A and B are shown apart, each in its own frame.
Chain A
Amino acid sequence: MSGLLRVQDLSVRFRTMGSLKALATGTKDPYIDAACGVSFDIRKGETLALVGESGSGKSTIARTVIGLQRATSGSIIFDGQEIGALSGSERKPYLRRMAMMFQDPIASLSPRLTVRSLLGEPFRIHGLRDIDAAAEAARLLRMVGLPEDFACRYPHQLSGGQARRVGIARALALNPDLLIADEPTAGLDVSVQGEVLNLLARLQNELGMAILIITHNLNVVRHMTDRMAIMYLGRFIEVGSTELIFEHPRHPYTQALLAANPDPDPDAVLNRIELKGEVPSLMRRPTGCEFHTRCRYAQDICRRVFPDHSTSSDHTEHSFRCHFPA
């Protein structure tokens, strides 16, 4: 297995207000770093999960990899080629081999196209004219468990979960080498969710597709992914094999995240780890370890020194940023 996607030291910076407003409100630094020195790689046939707080920069990373957003610094290497700085037309051949499904299911479907036209978009964009659009649409709909007569519906005539499945079908249309799935199962009932995940697993087996999956559903992460990365304020704070992390989370934030997963039992006794305080603003990052404001183990050193990546002694692939790992 070889590295298909390699992301190194990726940073993405957004401006939050115009220069006039910044001047008026006395903001010296109107920027936020939505992603900050992020590095990871995905091998062929592997699934990497990106999890973490809402607003921690997961979608930003996905959008940057696919080229919707320019990286401020860092490199994105796809199949041995640097693609971070390519222009639209130079990028196009790579976009045939990558596909992304978006977080907002209905809003990411063009409202005036029927489902059949929507599913035909990838073929038309890449000039595959000799394809029977109707047959392809029917095949894709069947694949995600939607009736074929949905081909003549418009996006606003679909339920949230149905729109999500159309998005999944469209992303899979060209059998991509890399699939970036932003919340692929949100809004699906557990049975359909199972069907979709089984489909992805099957395609991955058959075609060796690599998947970057962004999800809040920890059950999905646990069952479906090989490795996971936990993000906090735009940085990776823990990376490693899914199994290991679920078994033995090292970073206090990871521990709190895993413990929060609601149990489908109204009488379950939950031993949640309360996170005190609030999510810090990206405009005013805390000093030292950025998690110290909410950490129950925080010591003096945590407030002063930014922790480096450390690795677990027995598993070198498992790394985390914490002065006092569990």
Chain B
Amino acid sequence: MASVETTRPETNVAIGPGLQQFRKNRLGMLGAALVTLITAIAIFAPLMIMHDPVRIMVGPRLADPSLHYLLGTDQLGRDTFSRIIMGSRIPLLVAFVSLGSSLAVGLVLGLIAGFGPRWLDNLLVLFFDTIRSFPGIIFALAMVALLGPSLASVILVIAITSMPIYARVVRTQTEALRSSEYVAAERSMGAGTTRILAVHVLPNVIGPLLILVSMDVPAVIAVEAGLSFLGMGVRPPTPDWGAILNDGFNYIDKAPWLVIAGGIPIVLATLGFTFLGEALREIFDPKLRKDL
């Protein structure tokens, strides 16, 4: 029995046992598989398509699914399958870049607010709340008016509006940890602020944050689709799930597969990221492990 333990590498924040537990979590594994699959599709999309996704009239308009057009064609005669595959790139790019940057900024600002001096905390909280108090749509419209409709403005809008939420969560958690006895104990051993933040605060904060982020990914995909629909995101003919779904709604009676084909990837991505988020919670919280 002892040998099992000694071969385990010494990790400071021991999430090793958490990973083992994760393997036993079926939904988590499913989520991870879905997320990997969708990410892989997005990365290798150009290798997988059968037709040029933006060329008009590669086939007849609104053709039924067939061997040649796996998911039929749309009102402009474009191949839906190729558009779905290529269409995965934009939403994922937007989600990763926007949420990634807002995660990074939110984490740093939240840690500073929670661990720094009181006046800085008050200042930062005021800043977060100011951003949050803008109505999202108006803010988005203002950004688009300022920067013009483009992918960059979509990313910026999402990053800026979600950052204060993350920063708030980090700040609240950090604040609670700051007065905890174990942070005091670490200080008494001579640990500096950087070490305390990295080894003792971050692992407590990053878990809830990653869960939050992975649950936000589906929302971002939807927002991106909505903005595209309003003509404020990607412009046609760039393939994009949201755009395909919206196109499909106009022809739902003649070609129902368009809606289905556009909707299913969004549903799968949503489920995948949600399951993954739930499972991450267990990795980061040893108290939720069963080991039975």
Residues of A whose CB lies within 8 Å of any CB of B are 63, 66-68, 88-89, 91-92, 95-96, 99-100, 102, 104, 107-114, 116-117, 120-122, 124-126, 133-134, 148-149, 151-152, 154, 156, 167, 170
Contacts and interface: CB of A to CB of B under 8 A. Distances in A.
Contacts of A133: 10
B190 A125 contact: yes
Contacts of B203: 112
Contact of A110 (B2, B17, B186, B193): B186
A107 B5 contact: no
B186 A152 contact: no
A151 B287 CA distance: 16
A125 B189 contact: yes
B190 A91 contact: yes
B114 to A, nearest CB: 17
Interface stretch (B37-45, B138-146, B176-184): B176-184
Chain B: interface size category:
20 to 34
Nearest to B183: A110
B181 A104 contact: yes
A18 to B, nearest CB: 11
A88 B194 CA distance: 12
Nearest to B207: A112
A125 B180 contact: no
A148 B186 CA distance: 23
Nearest to A103: B181
A63 B14 contact: no
A99 B187 CA distance: 11
B182 A126 contact: no
Contacts of B189: 95, 99, 121-122, 125, 170
6 contacts: A89-B192, A102-B188, A110-B185, A111-B204, A112-B200, A151-B5
B12 interface: yes
Contact of B184 (A91, A108, A113): A108
Contact of A111 (B1, B5, B286): B286
Secondary structure at the B interface, as helix, strand, loop or mixed, is helix
Given A112-B203, A125-B195, A134 B188 contact: no
Contacts of A91: 190
Contact of A102 (B13, B184, B204, B284): B184
B119 to A, nearest CB: 14
Contacts of A120: 10
Given A110-B199, A112-B13, 18 more contacts: A67-B187, A67-B188, A89-B192, A100-B188, A102-B185, A108-B181, A110-B182, A110-B186, A112-B203, A112-B284, A113-B13, A116-B10, A117-B11, A121-B191, A122-B189, A125-B190, A125-B191, A156-B287
A149 B2 contact: yes
A96 B190 contact: yes
Contacts of B181: 102, 104, 107-108
Interface in B153-207: 180-182, 184-193, 195, 199-200, 203-204
A126 B190 contact: yes
Nearest to A91: B190
B286 A112 contact: yes
A126 B191 CA distance: 8
Given A95-B190, A134-B6, A108 B12 contact: no
Given A112-B203, A113-B12, A134-B6, A68 B184 contact: yes
A151 B182 CA distance: 18
Interface string B270-288: 0000000000000010110
A95 B284 CA distance: 31
B182 A108 contact: yes
Nearest to A104: B181
A92 B12 contact: no
A68 B14 CA distance: 27
A112 B185 contact: no
A133 B185 CA distance: 19
Contact of A152 (B5, B182, B284): B5
Contacts of A96: 190
Contacts of A89: 192
A111 B182 CA distance: 8
A114 B13 CA distance: 8
A49 B203 CA distance: 38
A149 B4 CA distance: 11
A293 to B, nearest CB: 32
Contacts of A134: 6, 10
B58 to A, nearest CB: 55
A122 B188 CA distance: 10
B284 to A, nearest CB: 8
A93 to B, nearest CB: 8
Given A68-B188, A107-B181, A110-B200, A88 B287 contact: no
A133 B6 CA distance: 11
Nearest to A123: B189
B182 A92 contact: no
Nearest to B291: A157
Contacts of B1: 149
